[in-house]
Amino acid sequence: MTRYESGQFGRLLKRAVLGAALFFCAPAFAQDVTLTSDGGGLTVLGRMIGFDGENIQIDSEFGTLTLRYDTVTCAGDPCPDPDTYVPELRLSGARRMADILMPAMVEGFARSKGLVVNFQNSDAGFTQTLMDGDQAVARVVVHATNTDEGFADLIAHQADMVMSVREVRAAEIDRARDVGLGRLDDARQSRIVGLDALVPVVSSRSDVRGISLADLSDAFAGQTPNWSVLGGPDVPMTLHLGPPNDGQMQRFIDDVLGVAGKTLGAAVVRHPDHDAVIAAIAADRGALGILPFTDVGINQPIALRDGCGFISAPRLTALKTEDYPLTAPMFLYLPSRRLPALAREFLAWMQGPQAQLVVRRAGFVDQGAVPIPLDSQGQRFANAIAAAGADMPLIELQRMVRVLGARVRLSTSFRFEVGSTRLDAQSRSNLLSLAQAIRDGRYDRRPLLLAGFSDGRGAASANRDLSSARAEAVLRDLLSLLGGVLPDGVSVETGAFGEALPMGCDDTEWGRQMNRRVELWVSQ
């Protein structure tokens, strides 16, 4: 039975029913508690979802309610004791992040705070307890599973953040919104903590050294029975992928086969883990598989190439700029809940230079911006000259070189979702990092240029307009993050160069996607 009364508790209840609840830790007990207002005029029964030291959250007949704990009396086994409360952050999801990256990140954050970490394994993962002397300050509980299970745990209020090696899917967005977790595809509800990459891999006995994305798509769709179809040896092609619930394999299927309107062929062998894929490829001269670029074993990773002569390999700058098409960001997805101070500090720390060093030491690629001098971009400009035609006269190339030659390209780039003017996930994260760098004063008195580029379809004049619109859109989004105005001492301008500097062939969707971009350049 629920009774209403006027006064503070009643007003809090009304606001909680009408508004979105912002909350953090959600302990994994699915038991009921009874909350009674201080004066006893109102009683609410609900399932305990979480407690952040100040607020309690329950799932009740009114929906998700978040109420100040000091205004209620709590009855039931899950009721927390504020005097002994230790913040607990529960992560669930991709084992690749859980096993390597996140433990190192927690250790690095703890060191930055002068804390030590006690590590304890469990059947499902591990717990890291941050200690200040003999006092536990916080706990990080990690469930090492897969991306699918991570989102399921979040939606079931059994996790606070998802470790994901792919972008959240539409069905997961809908389910999360339905249970009051906000919009998981909102840039504010995700963080990219590092970059990985997927590579096509062949046996070390194979003579194949490159493959196009179109041929890769055809192969895994079951349309390439023999390597001779691709100009290789007369050897049957066998295909190998990790398990269906592996987020990186899901990303490959979505981004390579899905974009081409294809589905995975029936002959593709699915293995239980990456080690099994490595072993299968090593044993078969005709094998072709997909693996993370740091986890290929004794096998041979091969480059991506296309019919226009563009070759792309998963090198440091190519991953940072998304110039390598199979770049695979590693995400943390979080609900729209209120974060305790320590958790907010952890998320902020992950965007800083200390965290980027941890990412590199863990064997992944960080998101820190690095300069790419003009001298090291000779192949890009050679491609631009080779691809130039009647619509791209010499005077336009000279203008581009004149404008960019006085600047240095930074690895921060911006690309857009397929068929959309919305920045893709990595680019949204790049924009947040750029805004923070500007706020921190890293670009004071160093003029920035957002250089827009397009694919080569259509008239050159129209493509210049499109590239200008893209650069202006990035600038608008940047200004929005900065409160509508640039800080004193910071200047950002836009430039438009249309199809002048292609990164891929325009005869494929992948190539056009690579060409539609905005680059960040800074004055020397």
What domains lie within the chain, and their CATH numbers?
8-75 (2.30.30.100), 88-192+331-346 (3.40.190), 196-320 (3.40.190.10), 369-523 (3.30.1330.60)
Calculate mean pLDDT across residues 358-363. 93
Stretch 157-170: mean pLDDT: 93
Q: What is the mean pLDDT of the chain?
A: 87
Is the pLDDT at 295 greater than 50? The verdict is yes
Cβ contacts of residue 197 below 8 Å, gap of 6+? 292, 293, 314, 319, 324, 326, 327, 328, 365
Element (H, E) at 45: strand 43-51
Q: Taking 70 as the threshold, does the pLDDT of residue 389 lie above it?
A: no
Q: Which has more pLDDT, 377 or 73?
A: 73
Report strand pairing: 190-202 vs 287-292: antiparallel
| Rounded (5°) CA angle 207-213-217 | 100
Rounded average pLDDT over 287-309: 91
Q: Who has greater pLDDT, 7 or 342?
A: 342
- Which residues make beta-bridge pairs with 452? 496, 518
Q: What is the pLDDT of residue 390?
A: 65
Grade residue 398 by pLDDT with cuts at 50, 70 and 90: confident
Residue 197 to residue 182: CA distance in whole angstroms: 29
Mean pLDDT of 449-475: 91
pLDDT band at 7 (very low <50, low <70, confident <90, very high): very low
Q: How far apart are CA 344 and CA 492, in angstroms?
A: 29
User: Residue 87 above 50 pLDDT?
Assistant: yes
CB under 8 Å to 94, separation ≥6 — which residues?
145, 146, 147, 150, 163, 164, 165, 247, 248, 330
Give strand pairing partners of 60.
Answer: 46, 63
Distance, CA of 66 to CA of 52 (rounded, Å): 10
- Give residue 1's pLDDT band: very low, low, confident or very high (50, 70, 90): very low
**Residue 269: its pLDDT value, please?**
98
Among 88-102, 157-171, 229-243, 315-329, which is the least confidently predicted range?
315-329
Stretch 393-404: mean pLDDT, rounded?
A: 83
The distance between the two most distant Cα atoms of the chain, rounded to a whole number of Å, is: 84
Q: What order of strands is seen across the sheet that includes strand 371-372?
A: 371-372, 407-415, 517-523, 448-453, 492-496
Question: Do 392 and 492 form a contact (C-beta atoms < 8 A)?
Answer: no
d(C-alpha 512, C-alpha 474), whole Å: 19
Q: What is the pLDDT of residues 189-204, one digit of tens each?
A: 999 999 999 999 999 9
**415-432 pLDDT, tens per residue?**
988 767 788 888 998 998
From the CB of residue 10, how many other CB atoms can be counted at a distance below 10 Å?
Answer: 15
Task: Write out pLDDT tens, residues 494-523.
Answer: 999 988 888 888 878 888 888 899 999 999
19-34 pLDDT, tens per residue? 333 334 444 445 799 9
pLDDT at 419: 65
